[in-house]
Structure 1
Amino acid sequence: MKGYWRSHGLNSALAGKGVLVLDQVFQNLKSSELFQKGATVAELLSGFPIHVRGHTLRGSSDISKPQFTKLLKQVTSHISSISNIYVHDGAIGPRSTCNVNIRMISDGPSSVLAFSNIIWETSSRAISKDSCPLTVYAAESISPGVSNSIGLGTEGDNGFIAADIERSMLIVCGTAFSDINRTKETLVALSEPVIFARGGLPLPGRLLVFGDSVVLLFAPEDIIQSCAVFLISRDAGVILSSEGVMPFFRFGDTNTNGPNLYKLPSAIVLITSDDSRTIPSASKLSPGQAAYHFLAGHQNGKFVPAFHKGPSSIDPLELAKALMFVLKEQQIPSFLVNAKGIESAGKELVTLVESTLSMNIPPFRAKGGEIKRRYKSFLSGKYQQLPEGFSF
């Protein structure tokens, strides 16, 4: 049921999340209804602080369990003091066995509007039946001093994002809901362990479609942006499962138009950029090589494990191992493409990828041993031992 709802069931569910209904609850309002309630399209901002408890990669600062508990108490008390509460249900990934359901509880309609534009639609029934839904609290009008009051400093006075992966909770304070990119990054970090446990692979890739062929692409952000117009979505993040591959977030009007779930990839392509002339322009990789190069994420002398810089709750090595298993089981071919010289030429890069899939590409062989030593030095410094089957 949408709109104003004084259901005992919903009130009880909110109470279970620490929010007591003072007056009215508005659930799953459409955009037009949110505008009627005073929602505004916020200017897209960036750079708000992120505090994540339980992440494995850099990209956020730590928040302790006591700090998060104190923040949660302040936020739920604040929302409980507001006459009109807004609830919105959605999901990371379209409906499948691997998606993650989310419920947002907010003190205002603007954060709900921003949130509803990025997540997939789902039913309230799906939320209630899910054993591990995510909960998002948005406190638009909370006191600016809340960040400092729990020991996170004054940097977040205008807004900040805090997440606890163990509790599957996200808190967005102030105007931080307008930082869409960081909100998405944190939602992904929260969703990853649930997706992984349900048999899916949360991967920081993009989808490229050529006719009937679906290509899963891994590349550094600057290269990706040069060919963004050719991609299904600009956002990094897909769920790969036995059902197929699907984007984490909505793109365009995809709740109603176009496919949400794509078939299994015809190929996986890893893009590197190396000016040493030791990596060929295009090479075929074995599943073990694909996992190895995915784990290293080599970009012109630098390494970005799993091509992912943001906060994450899954060890990149575990992700690489699972990727190798899927490539073997589903017999998905993999390629390494060296984009040096055409990094900013999106159409040329897409053409190179397309031609790679249609040609008889030789197996990967680097010229000389220096690049191999650099890979080995980097990975051995991070991991004591690589799994059997991983190879350069």
Structure 2
Amino acid sequence: MRIALLKNLIGGALNSTRSRCVANPSLPFSLTSKRHAVSASLAEEEAEEVVFPREGPGVSYGLNWALAGRGVIVKDKAFHNLKSPELKKNGATTSERLSGLPIHVRGSTTGGASEISKAQFSKLLKQVTTHISSVSKVFVQDGAIGSSSKCDANVRVISDNPSALLSLSNVLWRTPTRAVSHDSCPLTVYIASSISPSTGEVVGLGTHSASGFFAADIERSSLILCGKAFADTDGAKDTLAAVAAPVISARGGIPLSARFLVSGDSVVLLFSPDDTIQSCPDLNEILVSKDVGLILSSHGVAPLFQTKDSAGPNLFKTPASVIFASSDSSGALPPVSKLSPGQAAYHFLAGYQNGKFVPAYSKGPSPLEPLDLAKALLSLLTEKNIPSFLINVRDGEKHVTGKELVKLVKSTLSETLPPFKSKAGDIEGKYKSFLSGCRSFGNSFQDNRKYVLVSQNIKEEPHG
């Protein structure tokens, strides 16, 4: 039985000979380095010595052992870090893009994801690893979330389908294999594209469409994609960002739902709702990436995922300004105004959009408290002396045009702008109501007092 298991672990098809050896009874097997063999203890002081054949494409004992540590026992071959042409030779095709697939997250404090219990995730993970272990070809890809190695999160993707890796190769940043293999705890992504469509229902997650679903466990640094979930790029990015957030934060980065642009020699950070970005094609042209998600640190700015310019730098300089695009049709917010660091943290926390609040400008799942992010942002803005500005993207009932917004954004780099002061209206009342009634905004706001006293944490009044 032990030899059968051993053969599975090292890829099968091993030549064996018998010999006697004195085995350490405390170990299940011992390595005989001189002959490059594995000796397994037998009951009658016998051992079967298995000689490793030469490694080749799809056969790597080190990789097989690493996968076994993640619950996947290689049945036949495991291919590692194949490039796009090689993936296509193994049957990879470009999949039709999907969107809006269900997301289940354990450990998320914000966002619209459904909950998944520890027991449910464990049961699902067991089914997924068993499924991947049953296929003849396993595909493994290493990458990173975050373009800069100073504060990124290493990722290992284990898939039953080369098409899934072809899709994620346009999302994850490339990273040296050594960076992942020597990481004591990289994020692990399991993709089971051909698993039974009823898997979610079996583990108690309810009925899902045949297209698939996402399941993440923040504590285990693990993400599962079932069915064709890999074709839902937005869902993949949201869940990858959620799982990576604690790692990035621990390495000194602040994961933010923001975008950035480069104007001349200056980098500008932009917090803005998606509909504003989509309605401003002129702004899209100067954004480094139209996708939301970046890491802000004392080293500079790094996009979370691959951008349209693959030849761009891995790390951009510290922002020359930070802009919060708000939306207010009542006329209470001025077109553009300068914020103090405390006011910037306050507006970031609220994410005010025409009567609605989007804390930290984030709609995706996240295990990080918005207040903690606001305090980290405040600290960095103060430390680096980064100026911040508020832009109102609405002129009455009309949305500003892309050209007007670009002009407003660039004005923060060259003009002396007035400090923020709200005009007539009940905008201050709405903000106070938001802070005093934060229970309605999700699990992260369960402690009302903590958020009512937010002004004490940022030490400045939000309005002039």
TM-score, scaled relative to structure 2: 0.82
Choose which of 260, 264, 269 in structure 2 pairs with 1:211: 264
Matched, 1:324 2:324: no
Choose which of 365, 368, 373 in structure 1 pairs with 2:424: 368
> How far 1:347 sits from its partner (Å)?
2.2
Choose which of 367, 385, 389 in structure 2 pairs with 1:335: 389
**Deviations for 1:265-299, whole angstroms, at most 9, x for unmatched residues?**
00000011111111111111010000000000011
Choose which of 406, 415, 427 in structure 2 pairs with 1:359: 415
4+ residue runs over 3 A deviation: 341-344
Q: Which moved more, 1:338-347 or 1:202-211?
A: 338-347
Q: Could you tell me which residue of structure 1 aligns to residue 9 of structure 2?
A: none
The separation in 2 between residues aligned to 1:388 and 1:260, in whole angstroms, is: 31
Matched, 1:165 2:218: yes
- The correspondence of residues 22-101 of structure 1 with structure 2, limited to 5 A, is 22-101=75-154
* Contact 1:147 1:157 (C-alpha < 8 Å) held by counterparts: no
> How far 1:156 sits from its partner (Å)?
4.0
Q: Which has the higher contact order (CA 8 A, sep 6+)?
A: 1
* Contact 1:3 1:26 (C-alpha < 8 Å) held by counterparts: no
Q: Could you tell me which residue of structure 1 aligns to residue 18 of structure 2?
A: none
The separation in 1 between residues aligned to 2:182 and 2:373, in whole angstroms, is: 28
Structure 1 unaligned segments of length 5 or more: list them. Answer: none
Q: Could you tell me which residue of structure 1 aligns to residue 40 of structure 2?
A: none
The separation in 1 between residues aligned to 2:430 and 2:378, in whole angstroms, is: 22
Choose which of 294, 301, 306 in structure 1 pairs with 2:360: 306
SS of 1:103's equivalent? strand
Structure 2 unaligned segments of length 5 or more: list them. Answer: 1-54, 439-447
Paired residue type of 1:381? G
SS of 2:437's equivalent? helix
> How far 1:7 sits from its partner (Å)?
2.2
* Contact 1:79 1:107 (C-alpha < 8 Å) held by counterparts: yes
Paired residue type of 1:63? I
- The correspondence of residues 251-290 of structure 1 with structure 2, limited to 5 A, is 251-252=307-308, 254=310, 257-290=311-344
The separation in 1 between residues aligned to 2:369 and 2:134, in whole angstroms, is: 40
Q: Could you tell me which residue of structure 1 aligns to residue 290 of structure 2?
A: 234
The separation in 2 between residues aligned to 1:155 and 1:344, in whole angstroms, is: 40
Quick check: which has more Rg, 1 or 2?
A: 2
* Contact 1:3 1:28 (C-alpha < 8 Å) held by counterparts: no
> How far 1:367 sits from its partner (Å)?
1.5
The separation in 2 between residues aligned to 1:177 and 1:169, in whole angstroms, is: 15
* Contact 2:111 2:362 (C-alpha < 8 Å) held by counterparts: no
**Deviations for 1:227-286, whole angstroms, at most 9, x for unmatched residues?**
3232110111110111110100001351xx121210000000001111111111111101
SS of 2:114's equivalent? coil
* Contact 1:343 1:349 (C-alpha < 8 Å) held by counterparts: no
* Contact 1:14 1:20 (C-alpha < 8 Å) held by counterparts: yes
The separation in 1 between residues aligned to 2:399 and 2:129, in whole angstroms, is: 47
The separation in 2 between residues aligned to 1:40 and 1:176, in whole angstroms, is: 15
Paired residue type of 1:220? P
SS of 2:115's equivalent? coil
> How far 1:95 sits from its partner (Å)?
3.2
SS of 1:4's equivalent? coil
State the percentage of identical aligned residues: 58
What's the RMSD between the two structures over aligned residues?
A: 1.5
SS of 2:330's equivalent? coil
Change (3 A) 1:377 1:150: same
* Contact 1:3 1:29 (C-alpha < 8 Å) held by counterparts: no
The separation in 2 between residues aligned to 1:125 and 1:162, in whole angstroms, is: 27
The separation in 1 between residues aligned to 2:117 and 2:460, in whole angstroms, is: 36
Change (3 A) 1:280 1:217: same
SS of 1:142's equivalent? coil
* Contact 1:217 1:268 (C-alpha < 8 Å) held by counterparts: yes
The separation in 2 between residues aligned to 1:306 and 1:390, in whole angstroms, is: 18
How many pairs were matched up? 389
Paired residue type of 1:110? S
Matched, 1:149 2:202: yes
* Contact 2:193 2:226 (C-alpha < 8 Å) held by counterparts: yes
TM-score, scaled relative to structure 1: 0.96
**Deviations for 1:110-155, whole angstroms, at most 9, x for unmatched residues?**
0011111111001221012223311000011111111111111222
SS of 1:278's equivalent? coil
